[in-house]
Structure 1
């Protein structure tokens, strides 16, 4: 009888909640959005299909197929039932603007997402909500002022290590066929660890080492494997997030082992900074002592070791992975579109001239301002790459209270939709970038010129590669600057890039480990200028 009472009470509670929601929707003048039919055992069908698509590196395509085949190409906001809860999926810019900006007070990142990410990254700007998030942003944001991130000399040092790694593949005028994607991840990791901690892990060239001071009672950081531990930890986060509140079903021993290794790496530098105080830069700096180091700056206003570890790890993951993935995708598409390569390289050479061998110093004339203001085709290439291969494949929020979406309800999809408190909404950025009614009938074509033709106007909420509104990524300018600078230097050094994937017309694979990278790598050959 006890269990019968529990089941009866639960069913009555759900019925009462449904009735209340319907009454509130009527009061607000809302109409229901289309619903996809419940699928699979206990309604887990869509969740299992999504996990299978992710394993096959086609989750981004799967979302569009689910929209178009289940409800039609003109439906852009749907309700998806999964077991005992429902979520909303929307590729409508008007609804996205409401969630991220105009009605952002009604929404926040879900606690499930935050709980999935915290074991690896801790409490920080990307894993917190509410007041804690506001405090994190206030702590981090001043450090990303233009004058702080405009350290092209730091980028250049690591570009030379990239060149050296590529030169190992040289055979005559060309390189052999190789995957350049891991080299971009090494470069981004090396740049970010130096920017964050004052010391580069030098994953691109392990023979380049800076001896660190010893800390009594504390073992030195694992320099060799930090990238591997981050990748394995992020893969675990991706699966945990996909499983929503059922992530407890996953085995976790290996996941937490990788998390602990990543924490240990950051903790060593935090402890060194806290013990050395303002002399920290003298201890580990191999270049100018007054350069920007995020940990050093954060410790001037916060001395909590766990907070410093968490905030720097949040920035390390975002700064490394988005930039590396974006670089990989740009070269991936340039290798398949030689006319785009030629046009972009002409812009580079016209502004900055050809490659000049010498010391690893920033070539004359390359500045942040010129990259930002004088390279319209570079901007178009970056934007088009982010449209067809968004490095953040999915965004999400959860409603903090009863609220509404501006449209998606009713027979024509033009009526507001009621959203009860605690409802998750998913924003599929790839599906948004593949809408022909927004981007044109050639939506699946990689064509940077569309950004020139439109005058750059498509930069509203139909284009949100770094999110939008109050939680828009504070590091997007850093990501764009690093990406453009490295592409400039590659184009000065190499005059041709050839697609080396076999077969050459293999499908594009979107591999999600929080960020979206090429699942088949970036297989290319480069010709020296």
Structure 2
């Protein structure tokens, strides 16, 4: 065999390989050109400057050496101002399209839903750090996982939610000083939403806010998860270089997160032992446990679902109270509106939905600081975007199979054409009569729209109402502006330090 290889003409083999590769590239180019021409596609004239289009040394320097900036989302806004609402970042080996155009988001998330899947980088990283759950699955596996989660979140299952909310909100309020002492609301919101989610979805609360319990174990879980979340975002930002990033602390944290979940699941099994396996009142834990075949799959699905239901609501509450603390007149009006509708009584969900200014405040927080500020999809076949081609960017744009579309909700929510003036400011009044459609996607859209959206909003309305009923004034104790903390859900890097004054 070695003698045969030695007799081979290596220059000829290299030339042959180059010819074959060139033929493949030319054939792909011709097919792509024909596909795009039939659909009216034009070449993108909005190209981000790439210093090295071959190896990507500039990308390596930016992501590996410089690291993620605390101004990542603000930098995105500047790039969209420079290149337009859709632009390409093309290299020899891959195609990336950045967009904040609502028409493109609608195409990716709904109209051509089957042409896209979750990006390989996201699936790889989240699967490694948090297991294989609903938020990285595609196709039949995703449909099956979603069908399992729908029943526990159906509207008729919400009857028990008010009493669960009230109990845990009172636990939360017991941790708040009443006479102006400084407190960081952000970690308390994460503990509150974890307690609510675990009781409602699994029938057994984590009781992170229970003052009679030692909280070291729960705090360790929170810290470990946040470390894994931050590491996931950093690793995803490496793109094709993600395999070269290793964080020993995150690896150890992941093991502790899995251990905590394993122990929690075992407690749930012990508490529910002896109950009927199938009833109309099954919670998420029972639904998932009866549908999966092994313990690892159960843990992964529950971890994704629990942390999503916890993180999105906790981030929303923290971001909202960060800006409310800096806008005392807005807080005063919100309190007045709530008291005029429900006084100091426990509000019902119907009453909360009727408090218009409460909805405006929540919507404005989701606009200004969407908890999932950006996301992406990968083309499963040759396809198109409705906008991004041509000199003006208004013609269709061709996407080859494997191309990644990164869409930025944070930037889209700052379009003055939709949201009016002062888009960088917190102005709940802008929602008076506003109907932004696909320009406002705090919970995504299309078939993958957040399955827990209804649950998250009801929980948020209730918590906000009970806080403003309890405290007459809210004042910020942090002079700094809001700054992003990179993670799977977006919160403020510096927490939410405030003072509250009881009525």
Alpha-carbon spacing, 1:385–1:276, altered in 2? closer, same or farther (3 Å): closer
Equivalence for 2:225: 230
- 1:464 is displaced (CA, Å) by 0.6
Write the distance in 2 (CA, Å) between the matches of 1:57 and 1:371: 36
Alpha-carbon spacing, 1:275–1:443, altered in 2? closer, same or farther (3 Å): closer
2:358 matches 1:368: no
Write the distance in 2 (CA, Å) between the matches of 1:77 and 1:388: 21
Alpha-carbon spacing, 1:247–1:22, altered in 2? closer, same or farther (3 Å): same
2:187 matches 1:182: yes
2:94/2:402 contact within 8 Å kept: no
Structure 1, 250-259 or 106-115: larger mean CA deviation? 250-259
- Matching of residues 433-472 of structure 1 within 5 Å: 433-452=413-432, 455-458=433-436, 460-472=437-449
2:252 matches 1:257: yes
Alpha-carbon spacing, 1:326–1:7, altered in 2? closer, same or farther (3 Å): farther
Equivalence for 2:164: 154
Report the RMSD for the aligned CA atoms in angstroms: 2.8
2:388 matches 1:408: yes
- 1:227 is displaced (CA, Å) by 1.3
User: The residue matched to 1:37 in structure 2 has which SS?
Assistant: coil
User: The residue matched to 2:265 in structure 1 has which SS?
Assistant: helix
- 1:259 is displaced (CA, Å) by 2.0
- 1:229 is displaced (CA, Å) by 1.7
2:314 matches 1:324: yes
Alpha-carbon spacing, 1:49–1:481, altered in 2? closer, same or farther (3 Å): farther
Equivalence for 2:43: 32
Aligned equivalent of 1:490, options 453, 467, 491 = 467
Alpha-carbon spacing, 1:186–1:40, altered in 2? closer, same or farther (3 Å): farther
Equivalence for 2:262: 267
1:380/1:449 contact within 8 Å kept: yes
- 1:406 is displaced (CA, Å) by 1.1
Alpha-carbon spacing, 1:58–1:40, altered in 2? closer, same or farther (3 Å): farther
- 1:82 is displaced (CA, Å) by 5.1
Number of equivalences: 488
2:78 matches 1:65: yes
Structure 1, 110-119 or 45-54: larger mean CA deviation? 45-54
Alpha-carbon spacing, 1:223–1:448, altered in 2? closer, same or farther (3 Å): closer
- The normalised TM-score by structure 2 is 0.89
- The normalised TM-score by structure 1 is 0.85
Write the distance in 1 (CA, Å) between the matches of 2:65 and 2:414: 22
2:111 matches 1:102: yes
Write the distance in 1 (CA, Å) between the matches of 2:80 and 2:328: 33
1:51/1:242 contact within 8 Å kept: no
User: The residue matched to 2:438 in structure 1 has which SS?
Assistant: coil
User: The residue matched to 1:497 in structure 2 has which SS?
Assistant: strand
Which segments of 5 or more consecutive residues in structure 2 lack a partner in the other structure?
A: 1-9
Aligned equivalent of 1:193, options 194, 198, 206 = 198
- 1:149 is displaced (CA, Å) by 3.9
Equivalence for 2:301: 311
Equivalence for 1:499: 476
Task: Report Cα offsets for 1:70-112 as digits up to 9, x if no partner.
Answer: x2xxx21111135732201111111111111111111121232
Aligned equivalent of 1:21, options 25, 32, 36 = 32
Task: Report Cα offsets for 1:425-459 as digits up to 9, x if no partner.
Answer: 0111111011122222322221111111xx2412x
1:166/1:175 contact within 8 Å kept: no
2:107/2:386 contact within 8 Å kept: yes
- 1:12 is displaced (CA, Å) by 5.7
- Matching of residues 193-212 of structure 1 within 5 Å: 193-205=198-210, 207-208=212-213
Structure 1, 292-301 or 42-51: larger mean CA deviation? 42-51
2:202/2:268 contact within 8 Å kept: no
User: The residue matched to 1:443 in structure 2 has which SS?
Assistant: coil
Write the distance in 1 (CA, Å) between the matches of 2:229 and 2:378: 22
Aligned equivalent of 2:397, options 417, 422, 431 = 417
2:451 matches 1:478: no
Aligned equivalent of 1:513, options 487, 495, 500 = 487
Structure 1, 303-312 or 415-424: larger mean CA deviation? 303-312
- 1:140 is displaced (CA, Å) by 0.9
- 1:340 is displaced (CA, Å) by 1.3
Write the distance in 2 (CA, Å) between the matches of 1:297 and 1:331: 34
Task: Report Cα offsets for 1:179-236 as digits up to 9, x if no partner.
Answer: 21111111112222333433333323453379xxxxxxxxxx9545221221111122
Structure 1, 337-346 or 12-21: larger mean CA deviation? 12-21
Write the distance in 1 (CA, Å) between the matches of 2:401 and 2:477: 50
- Matching of residues 99-178 of structure 1 within 5 Å: 99-150=108-159, 151-167=161-177, 170=178, 174-178=179-183
